[in-house]
Amino acid sequence: MASEFPTSIDTLPDKTDGVDYPQAAEVNLLNDAVEKLEAKVGADSSAVETSHDYKLSGVTGSDVAVSKAGTETLTNKTLNSSTNTNIPSHKYKARVSLSATQENLVDGVYTKITFDTETYDPNSNFDAVTNNRYTVPVTGYYQVNGNIVFTNIVADKLYTAAIYADGAAVAIGFNTASTVGSEVANVSDVVYLTSGQVVELYARSSAGVNTVDVLGGATTTTFMSIHLLSI
């Protein structure tokens, strides 16, 4: 007779001295159950990965095992996961730049920067071909940075960079040029975004002319980066 453990619990009948006499099958059942229990628990310092001794080998002294649903404080632990979006190794990020100069901004009007070159975009969320914008894949808090180099500027005028989400400005940065030539406006913020929203970078020249340009041609001049920080 074989023990049904560990798929189920054996029913072992009680015996009375002087009345009942154990049969070999009953003794064998007990032996089999004990052997299965020993295999499941494991010997001290067991190397069998399915044994409890192996699984709990890191629990010593007053330590207790960590539960799935409970709340515990972990000390000196490192969590490694490529899918956990709370860990900086996730793929929800992009950096883009402008391959050529975007010319003749309409004065006083916010104009979208048509980013067409990706430095990185591991999750393919930036459309650098048609819409020139980032589509948010996961709801959360995003670090968004924008840098715009204005050229052919007029001195003592205002030049603005703005982060847009779904067509509305959520953060603005600006500079006033003291000389002619070029001027940089940058903007940076942590923005709460929901899945499906689109993020764009806009430029505005308040120079009084329509001949101010946005410098392109290098990844280090006019660019935007976005990175999920937390959910």
Q: Which residue has the higher pLDDT, 42 or 67?
A: 42
pLDDT digit string, tens, across residues 130-178: 999 999 999 999 999 999 999 999 999 999 999 999 999 999 999 998 8
- Collapsing DSSP to helix, strand or coil, 146 comes out as strand
So what's the pLDDT on residue 19? 79
Task: Round to whole Å and give the CA distance between 204 and 69.
Answer: 52
So what's the pLDDT on residue 210? 98
Q: Are 120 and 224 in contact (CB under 8 A)?
A: no
* pLDDT over 90 at 230, yes or no: yes
Helices (H) and strands (E) in the chain, counts: 2, 12
* pLDDT over 60 at 84, yes or no: no
Domains and CATH numbers, the chain: 1-61 (no CATH), 95-230 (2.60.120.40)
So what's the pLDDT on residue 81? 56
So what's the pLDDT on residue 171? 98
| Average pLDDT over every residue of 196-217 | 97
| Average pLDDT over every residue of 204-229 | 97
Q: Which two tokens stand for residue 74?
A: 């972990």
| Average pLDDT over every residue of 197-217 | 97
The chain-wide mean pLDDT, for the chain, equals 89
Range of lowest pLDDT (9-13, 84-88, 99-103):
84-88
Q: Which two tokens stand for residue 221?
A: 């001049």
* pLDDT over 80 at 73, yes or no: no
Strands 198-206 and 111-112: antiparallel
pLDDT digit string, tens, across residues 9-57: 878 778 888 777 777 877 787 788 888 888 888 888 888 888 888 888 8
Task: Round to whole Å and give the CA distance between 104 and 183.
Answer: 15
Q: Which two tokens stand for residue 58?
A: 């890191």
* pTM metric for this prediction: 0.65
Q: Are 174 and 202 in contact (CB under 8 A)?
A: no
So what's the pLDDT on residue 117? 98
